Structure 1
């Protein structure tokens, strides 16, 4: 009787035998499938952010919130932009957070490259800070010096203008001053003549309280707009700062509240009761502020 033949079982020592291995749909073993684990990890939240890029953006464009935009934090980036980096404070805080390696992207990951570049970042940041501070100090010093110089020059010019003497009858600036009465309204006031007398012309019964009267003839020429040649705009003081009493003679006086159009001139006298000493005359504008100041030397009696 013959026996049925069965396939021989693989022997452990048979070099030609192959183990039973499950195959895939294409006949490949599972080990031959490409791995997708790393691909999946790298795609969660996008590519890694760079520490160098984050640091440079925080250092140079932090007030605009660009560093937060780069890290994917759009909402806080917009807030940082609209507040100019929290007036600089937020920008400084974010820069320090980045330099200490505590910055995180939107998905909570730290930017790559911090250990390799942190020393360089700190050194460059310190250099930028020191340079900015020194530059700010120099600019502030120069600005302050410029402002102080302009103020000093203006004060010197004003002092020179106030302390300069007017020569009666002299041409140009030597005998006149320009006054600003109001917006766009200016006039040139010229001292035509000054004399010192012991009797008031036309009112000889006036008794001088200080020994005599200073009579000054003025010319009032409107340069722009329409101005008034009101003698109330004129004040005078003696060398001791004592305010002098002034009047206008009935003849040849300034018309009170006379309107003088541009290009026209008004003339008249003002008389002050004073000793024959240098007199400082102040011309005020329509609201009582000083518009011009000058000094008249004592005329020959």
Structure 2
């Protein structure tokens, strides 16, 4: 399809910024929806009052409060912010897009949809809600649902841990590893579904450009690894030791047991449909992904 104009909810965040950079590189016009004013931006209030730009051909939503922000206490108020920043923004875009001639609506969700165990999950796997994070993913995805008679293609990308120097997990662990204080999280045996930021943003572009793409996509690399294997690869690239496990009790004290599950538990997620659709990954090996992140994005 010809992309005339793409609207990105959360376009100033970690993932959104990279999507904007990709669109700019390809000469595709865009508008970000953000709380911060600036060029090529509108606010969520503007969206509610005036709707989407008339020339919108695709809408992407990657808005969401950082769940693992250590500066934020895990209170009921913060939990509600986490929900609203994902569910309510998605609802707003789902409501607005039906009044446009847009072709595609692509939203993000998380692999926390799947219950941590040794089962291999593909996009066809169904899971019941089992905790706060699972319930969040279910509500997030439900908020994106368009009317059954809509002609707009809809895709949901369930993302794993996103590896990129400018945000997410890498930004949080870089300095501890740099000073030789890195290590596996608890015993490190939990699965860690991951994806390089370049592959994730390319998957978003792939989803809005190709008319055959719709439904659920697992936004993870094909390689299944554990946190311990990631730690070994990352420490090797940084040429630092990483033998000191991060104690579970320490993480619980900082993040609270409910949200620390993101780090202590993991799912074995397979991108079956992504590969069947012909998407080409740039980074399928964790060692190469870590080398790119560290080697080309110096602090």
Between Structure 1 and Structure 2, the one with more strand by share is 1
TM-score, normalisation: structure 1: 0.19
Between Structure 1 and Structure 2, the one with more helix by share is 2
TM-score, normalisation: structure 2: 0.19
